[in-house]
Structure 1
Amino acid sequence: MAEVKLFGNWGSPFSGRIEFALKLKGVEYEFIDEDIYNYKSPLLLKYNPVHKKIPVLVHNGKPICESLVILEYIDETWEKGPSLLPKDPYERALVRFWTKFLDEKCVPTLWKTCWSIGEEQVKAKEESTELLKILEGTLSDKKFFGGDSIGMVDIVANFISYWFIILQELAGLQVLTKEKFPKLGAWIDDYLNCNIIKENLPPKDKLTAYFRARFEAAAAAAAK
């Protein structure tokens, strides 16, 4: 059997993407939990010397870095299980477009909204709302971004479905709500109710405690 290892972090939405994909494909793997803030293991630095970050998938001793690249590799390497990308070249191009949009636009802006203050937060909230409107329109009447089943865009959007909901609550924000974005709200429910996704999410209480501690540390630092 092929040896598969995933260098990740229990609370990271980026390594979570890879775990969800591997689980959906039925691929057995070993998970190596990295302390990404305090200590990066020699193996992680060896396998990802350029960016020095997670996730890194190691397949038969060969490392693959960057979550979007890893997801495509998983889909092309293990044909069993559901396809993460469509076969049609145009549809595949659309998937790459939206995953890049999520990573380069949505995730950084939503993250900034929760951690900034004052005018910077107001601006980030406005930008986040506009980006979420685009995603709402993209969903249209589909259950998932790719249609009737979970695909690569859904997996890449996992930060929005789970991590951001926790963060906005801790920050006292209501940027993404079912009232404002009913289609995204329905998508979140369908995505999180998928057994494989639900069973492999980081525990909500643990993730909430982790982010709360970071909020408190940031507030204490700002008060000095």
Structure 2
Amino acid sequence: MWRKVFTGLGGGGGGLQSWHMLPIRRSSSVSSAVDSVIMRSLKEHYLEVSKMTPPPKVSPPSPFTVVKGALDAEGPVLKRTYNDEEISIYVMRLANLLPEGGYDDQGDDSINQLFLHVDVAKPGQEDSLHFLCGLYPDALGIHSVSLRPKLQTTSSLVVPSKYQGPIFEDLDEKIRDAFHGFIDKRGINESLFPFLQAWLYVKDHRNLLRWFKSVGTFITEQKAEQKAVTQA
């Protein structure tokens, strides 16, 4: 085989074309094999994740309501009004973990630690009062309290651009207790945990399935484009 390739190199344009085509065919073959392995793995994992047992359905504590479309967006999850205030709750966790084989709230501690962004807005005020809290099954702690520009949309949180106040733990104990009482009076406490934990599981599950499908679609479309180029 190699003798034919080198002979072709000395013979003119036809041989040179054969030399260039050889590595392209090999590369195409290897790429196709790799794509097939990825697609098979994606399909297997998609089917495995799709069979996971979802958590029991949990309703948010009254009078909070779920924001429409929250599962497919990065905006607030829950909202409520308190007198003339509008309260929005965002939730996240540092470790995006899915329990293997189903829903188990007795596993890794990171699953039982949620982080809340609580936004308290009043009409006529340019800023809103913003709390960053740690939420656990049996407790809620405040990490910081700050004033931020009032949210204009429900798409995302506003990144602070000015002084955010003192470290919460450095505040006087009476002030800290008063802030805890402030948010507890508005329903921000451990009673939110069961719903928000279940909600995050559903969101993570949906995002993971969407990721498997999106990556698979990208690879199959790429293969179709390569095939069309080769045939052309």
Q: Which has the higher helix share?
A: 1
TM-score range, shorter chain: under 0.3
Which is higher, the Rg of structure 1 or of structure 2?
2
TM-score, normalization by structure 2: 0.22
